[in-house]
Chain A
């Protein structure tokens, strides 16, 4: 895949109040919880359906995203993308890792993630043009990943967003295992 930048969102169940994520993300920086360089935390809770609370990294961001009115965790690859063949799966894996760590946070008790739905977007209009052709190529790359991730489950992939939004697709599965199950399939 040519797109250098991509985002994967996994939706939350029993989401905590957004401000609860602020100390969590600060702790991730302090304790170097991630294997990538995290730098700062930005708080946009005040913005309607916005990016929520953001863990800013050098090459990535994690968003406690409030978009669509559906809280969830977004992993966003900004720079230093892996080789094209593994780019999407790497982002999915990192999104799942983030979910796993959040599910284990003592201060966020009750938080889980629904694993039967993923939103994948490409904020890179140069390499991922928002056209039928662009979507077609994107879909072709997503399909095998979705099949591997959901291991035999019935899946659907639908385009999301209009012609001015970034190119995006929603993957849904009839059912899915836990975050750990999915993680095992892409690790």
Chain B
């Protein structure tokens, strides 16, 4: 069989010179690492900045349901601290603002077939991820992507991540103008920019065409820009409402308004100045406080703005700041066919239902946008190639990934929709329900993520399966609900802005681990993710589908007129929601129903031992469980106080919950411990913090610091936002206390 020697040879002349050189360097670094000539930490950061991320079990430890197996020989080569070189990993591929050409999708499909497990996964930030990829396959993978204009550079690591934008940009009815060229400009301006190299953590940028819709989700980004126009001297000027310091993660922060109108000429230089300030002043040592949101919070938005503007004045002028403005139309979609209305006549079976949920009319007459609903964000290479062909036939270059883990096709003449639908149906992609209750967003969770606590994909798959059976019979208000699931508190599934958000936690029941999900309600997807919900209570994973059915039915039966789910929850109060949760919290004994002790889609007995090493000491003391239960109750009470507008009391109660949890643990070491806060803090610090017993395997002492800060402030919460945050932190501290208790009591980790 004849073949060329290497992809590098075959793609000569097709790759940007600088990108090609970067990939060559990376390939060399892999070889050097194999020879032990690059230190593992340096190599880890190097590969992360190339988009090569770790995956669950890459530390060589996997619990098989009965015992932990060692997957690689101890002492074998590593590609980072505690990360084996030969362990399969994930490759994250940046798709700026989600736009993909058919040619790019074809290559992605080839790579999924040749280097991965035959699946392309769309993420909640419009990236594509391939899983189970060997590090040695990545240089050629990168070359093949580079040859079609895609880079993985800075898809991971402490860098500017993929720039996201509303997938309707350019065709939307509510936008001020098309943000696509601005997102494109900032993406490539910041890629590898000197002022982005000193970050202590990642930096995420999002664009939205308007302030009301959810598509851009700018409220929870490190930097968010919302298109806006202003008339200056009789001339319409383009600019942006400019936000900084938003973020989800363990403790979500709403973005702060930096400037209500940044002109298009100032967008890039101002962002450069923001990056420079973040690089200079952002936290470096404490990873859990290193996002820009903490810097903005620490300085205050006014001081942060002053420093940034001072820095802006010092920047050396760069022609790239405005060069892109001369070619704003270059990113415009170009339709293949003239627009035409949908004609009457016979249509394929299922078309009408699909049309109702998955088609939107464009601003441009006669054209439509169609959403391809991808189950859990997954598609096969065969489906991908079919979609590339469909794009070529119907909509030219206008596919976009969405933050709901779907695909959008734009510029389809409405008259062509029946044919378009029929072609989707032929490859199993004509499912309706886009952005409805069955279109569930999920992070990878325990399937592949090292930090996953519970199986968010397993739960999402089960919810999707069950809800699909009844979706046609659901009331419209129920169909409109949004469900989002995260496998842990890091919020990659964006559970804070769902109607029903779930985040994975674990609980110790009957001396065994049981997968749970915290219910989060009160979030709002509209207004770019305008309001964050709060956790109400933890439900055993196996009971979540029944709970969803129950709360959905209760909502439909009890809502008033046009009341939304958020309005309904606000009206009935979290106490009522908690009562519903409480009906589903009992866990049968292992002997009665062992299924509760494994997670969805995984028959192994549930464990979080795969996350890292547990620390075992001491013995099980039931009074600890009692104290922890009390602390959970207090967190909930704090929420109720906040709901009643008693901001100060809510903060104090949240702090009290932390004291309860800390005391419950500390009493194990000092049975004479009083209820004096100072003494509790001292004993907790001495026995659990200084000894690192309380440390989370990945987050270290982060959650203990929440307690120390609350103690220092005496639980003071001067405003609604502070109280909200304190409650979030209290919940996380209590959850961490549960984990700690499980470790020290010797329960299977």
What is the interface of chain A, defined by CB distance below 8 A to chain B? Answer: 1-3, 5, 22-23, 26, 29-30, 37, 39-51, 54, 56, 58, 61, 63, 67, 78-79, 123-129, 133-134, 137-138, 141, 164-166
Contact = CB atoms under 8 A, between A and B. Distances in A.
B601 A22 contact: yes
Contacts of A44: 117-119, 378
A80 B399 CA distance: 37
Contact of B428 (A42, A49, A138): A49
B175 to A, nearest CB: 33
Contacts of B132: 40, 42, 56, 61
Interface in B361-378: 375-376, 378
A41 B63 CA distance: 12
B333 interface: no
B134 A78 contact: yes
A58 B375 contact: no
A26 B603 contact: yes
9 contacts: A26-B64, A29-B62, A39-B62, A42-B117, A42-B131, A42-B447, A45-B461, A47-B379, A48-B429
B379 A128 contact: no
B88 interface: yes
Nearest to B457: A43
Nearest to A22: B603
B118 A51 contact: yes
Contacts of A39: 57, 62, 71, 87-88
Given A2-B3, A30-B64, A58-B88, A124 B385 contact: no
B427 A48 contact: yes
B66 interface: yes
Nearest to A79: B134
Given A29-B64, A39-B57, A56-B88, A47 B380 contact: yes
Nearest to B119: A44
Please provide the 3 A-B residue pairs with the shortest distance between their CB atoms, ordered closest to farther: A48-B428, A137-B1, A30-B64
Contacts of B64: 26, 29-30
Interface of B: 1-4, 6-7, 10, 56-57, 62, 64-66, 69, 71, 86-88, 106, 109-110, 113-114, 117-119, 131-132, 134, 140, 375-376, 378-380, 382-383, 385, 427-429, 447-448, 458, 461, 464-465, 601-604
Contacts of A41: 602
Contact of A47 (B109, B119, B601): B119
B118 A49 contact: no
Contacts of A124: 114
Contact of B117 (A37, A51, A58, A141): A51
A87 to B, nearest CB: 11
A83 to B, nearest CB: 15
Contacts of A133: 2
A129 to B, nearest CB: 6
A40 B57 contact: yes
Contacts of A138: 1
Contacts of B2: 129, 133-134, 137
Nearest to A50: B380
A54 B117 contact: yes
Nearest to A134: B1
Contacts of A50: 118-119, 378, 380
Given A43-B447, A129-B3, 7 more contacts: A47-B375, A54-B117, A56-B88, A126-B6, A129-B2, A165-B382, A166-B114
Given A124-B114, A127-B1, A165 B385 contact: yes
A43 B458 CA distance: 9
Contacts of A49: 380, 382, 427-428
B430 to A, nearest CB: 10
A164 B381 CA distance: 10
A128 to B, nearest CB: 6
A4 B683 CA distance: 60
